[in-house]
Structure 1
Amino acid sequence: MARALVTGSTSGLGLEFAWQLAGTRHDLVLVARDEDRLRSIAAQIRDVHRVEVEVLAVDLSDRHRLDRVATRLTDPVDPVDLLVNNAGYGLRGGFLEIGVEDHEKQMDTLMRAVLVLSHAAARSMVQRRRGAIINVSSLAGYTAAGPYAASKSWVTVFTESLASELKGTGVSATALLPGFVQTEFHERASMNMEGLPRITWLKAPYVVEQALKDAARGVVLSIPSVKYRTAGEVSRIAPRSMMRALTSPNWYHRLQRKAVGRSRRRASRRNLHAPWQREDPPQ
């Protein structure tokens, strides 16, 4: 039976990866910071799918603890066949509004952990001549929306480079570039996304299903849905001056202004029909 290691596996896409992989009879190694939640999810998955589930309660921004996960990826007795680098989070506020220590911790999670774990997994997998790595990136990496977007740009380019280096080894590397996905990500970052149209959102099960299919086929860049593949191509070829104007860190503030304006218009329409504001009809 194959075994997959998933980071950030207690919420969002990571949790969905865990459930779908268990559903296809993968044993699991689940990695996240919250040990209680990890153990609870592991018990649920074992009960439903009858697979083996290990847990590693690790903060991937802690370099010493990250080594525990890297070591697990090189275990020759119980090897890992699929690595899903999913762990990540957003920060609320502009670059200068947030302390540099918080930026460094985020970068360690979003980039350094991906580098270290991909290196450990790929070397072990190449020796066995089989395996796959999925690095969860984002279409934000094609934008100019702050440090988070810059880190995702790095993940995409790194994965493309890794995929080229692994060609012919029996091991593949895939970068997953979703757009907006209905998960806990934005809520945890205290981001109010009410200004986004409903059509822009993707559902986590669909995103993960497409990513696993693409990884199985050796696709390097997995972009779920036609609308986001189109948006990705436009972003890649658009002048950078245009992308800076459209997707600078100010985009979130513009989104909030739209949400406020929309709420006011809805309230105004409701008030027009409120009984206490209607004029009595002429007698």
Structure 2
Amino acid sequence: MARRALITGASSGLGAEYARQVAAQGGDLVLVARDESALASLATDIRGQYGVDVEPMVADLLDADGLSRVVDRVSDADRPIGLLINNAGFGLPLAFESNDIEDESRHLRLHVDVPMRLTHAALRAMLPHSGGRIINVASVAAFIPRSTYGACKGWLVSFSRWANGRYASRGVTVTAVCPGFTHTNFHERMGLPPGEEGVAAWMWLDAERVVRESLRDAARGKAVSVPSKRYAALVALTRLVPPSLAAKVGESGR
């Protein structure tokens, strides 16, 4: 495990689970999120349970100053980051035509521009030392047409595949993690109470499993990680079905 990991969107959900599992393996942490109280609580908990160094960093990645501070932290040669986990994100309703276009623009920036900039900073810091890992949290929506969320995640998968092929031989691997529906507070933040997402029970995964399997795949240098066999099979199936059917599948859930 890399000695120090920086995780965005770290205050809850997959971000908090990544923090706990990295800490359990002895990794120090830089935790980035907007919620200062949630970050402080998580940091205290992890320090007490695992005895690692935890640096909470309150920043809004959609704010120019906030993003600049995180880029600078990733670039800091005196306190190097060995593992970058680009996890921050949010969802929007699937009805693109009804969404506020400024919300869509922020959605695009957080899912594409922010991880691109942080990956760029990490590569410039990691490549001279021939070592490092970058994890970009994408989604199975990258393979299934699902409004602008699927489009953003599709970009992230394509970019990660290219970057891993380009830089793995120089010691830095890049992995796109593509979970399916996962039990976190992601859907609640969209205003969907538990049990009202319109998704069959068998399609749900636990965050602990998603993070465990994705960290294993990243350690193996895989360009794309699809946690669980059921979703790996679903992704394989998307290559065979007509685009119109894939689009209908992408409408499931909300």
Q: TM-score, normalised by structure 2?
A: 0.94
Separation in structure 2 between the aligned mates of residue 246 and residue 173 of structure 1, nearest angstrom: 28
Separation in structure 2 between the aligned mates of residue 217 and residue 237 of structure 1, nearest angstrom: 28
For 1:247, the aligned partner's letter is G
Structure 1 residues 89-98 or 188-197, which shifts more?
A: 188-197
Assess if the C-alpha contact under 8 Å between 2:5 and 2:28 holds in 1: yes
Assess if the C-alpha contact under 8 Å between 1:92 and 1:190 holds in 2: no
Rg comparison, structure with higher value: 1
Separation in structure 2 between the aligned mates of residue 184 and residue 12 of structure 1, nearest angstrom: 6
For 1:21, the aligned partner's letter is V
Quote the offset at 1:128 in angstroms.
0.8
CA offsets 1:113-172 (integer angstroms, 9 cap, x no match): 110000000111111100000000000111221111111111111111111110310110
State the SS of the aligned residue for 1:56. strand
4+ runs of 1 displaced by more than 3 Å? 192-195
Structure 1 residues 111-120 or 39-48, which shifts more?
A: 39-48
Quote the offset at 1:238 in angstroms.
2.4
Separation in structure 2 between the aligned mates of residue 35 and residue 147 of structure 1, nearest angstrom: 29
User: Is it true that 1:211 corresponds to 2:251 in the alignment?
Assistant: no
Separation in structure 2 between the aligned mates of residue 7 and residue 194 of structure 1, nearest angstrom: 25
In the other structure, the counterpart of 1:142 is 143
Quote the offset at 1:93 in angstroms.
5.6
Structure 1 residues 58-67 or 237-246, which shifts more?
A: 237-246
The counterpart of 2:205, out of the listed 202, 206, 211, is: 202
Quote the offset at 1:96 in angstroms.
1.8
Separation in structure 2 between the aligned mates of residue 19 and residue 152 of structure 1, nearest angstrom: 24
In the other structure, the counterpart of 1:239 is 242
For 2:92, the aligned partner's letter is L
State the SS of the aligned residue for 2:30. strand
Question: Gapped runs of 5+ residues in structure 2?
Answer: none
Separation in structure 2 between the aligned mates of residue 220 and residue 93 of structure 1, nearest angstrom: 28
Separation in structure 2 between the aligned mates of residue 99 and residue 12 of structure 1, nearest angstrom: 25
Quote the offset at 1:252 in angstroms.
4.1
In the other structure, the counterpart of 1:177 is 178
For 2:189, the aligned partner's letter is R
Trace 1:1-283 onto structure 2 (pairs within 5 A).
Answer: 2-92=3-93, 94-191=95-192, 193-248=196-251, 251-252=252-253
State the SS of the aligned residue for 1:167. helix
Separation in structure 2 between the aligned mates of residue 49 and residue 3 of structure 1, nearest angstrom: 14
Quote the offset at 1:231 in angstroms.
0.2
For 1:218, the aligned partner's letter is G
Quote the offset at 1:186 in angstroms.
0.7
Assess if the C-alpha contact under 8 Å between 2:199 and 2:253 holds in 1: no
Separation in structure 1 between the aligned mates of residue 234 and residue 253 of structure 2, nearest angstrom: 18
Separation in structure 1 between the aligned mates of residue 231 and residue 253 of structure 2, nearest angstrom: 19
CA offsets 1:190-230 (integer angstroms, 9 cap, x no match): 13545322211110001100011111110111111111000
Structure 1 residues 170-179 or 237-246, which shifts more?
A: 237-246
Q: TM-score, normalised by structure 1?
A: 0.85
- The CA RMSD measured in Å over matched residues stands at 1.4
Separation in structure 2 between the aligned mates of residue 186 and residue 56 of structure 1, nearest angstrom: 24
Question: Gapped runs of 5+ residues in structure 1?
Answer: 254-283
The alignment covers a number of residue pairs equal to: 251
**CA separation of 1:78/1:223 partners in 2, compared to 1, >3 Å: closer, same or farther?**
same
Give percent identity, aligned residues only: 40
Separation in structure 2 between the aligned mates of residue 169 and residue 30 of structure 1, nearest angstrom: 27
Assess if the C-alpha contact under 8 Å between 1:61 and 1:106 holds in 2: no
